[in-house]
Amino acid sequence: MIDGKIMKLFVKRCQAVELIGRIKNEEGISVVDKKREQEILLRIEGLGAGREIKNFIRKIFESIFSASYILEKDE
């Protein structure tokens, strides 16, 4: 059940990324935004998980960012 929810949210995020990628490409904006990436990581790290879990979550989100950049570039 939890995995299904995660999957649905990930698909929803990918759909948003594709739309944002189209807009960025039309406007000539770079798809990579390290400042925004850091803002997201800091916000997530402040959500109260233990240190070990924070490291896992950080790695997961770094992978999500990488996948997002690929989706945005393909648009």
Superfamily of domain 2-74: Chorismate mutase (1.20.59.10)
User: In b/e form, how buried is each residue of 7-39, taking b as 16+ CB within 10 angstroms?
Assistant: eeeeeeeeeebeebbeebeeeeeebeeeeebee
Please give the distance of CA 10 from its chain centroid, rounded to a whole number. Answer: 9
Burial of 50 (0-12, 13-18, 19+ CB in 10 A): exposed
The tokens of 46 are what?
């402040």
Domain boundaries, the chain: 2-74
Please report the pLDDT score of residue 75 as a whole number: 57
Return averaged pLDDT per consecutive 10 residues of the chain, 75 residues in all: 94 93 90 90 82 86 92 74
| Nearest residue to 56 via CA among 40, 43, 67, 45 | 45
The whole-number pLDDT of residue 74 equals 65
- pTM reported for the whole predicted model: 0.77
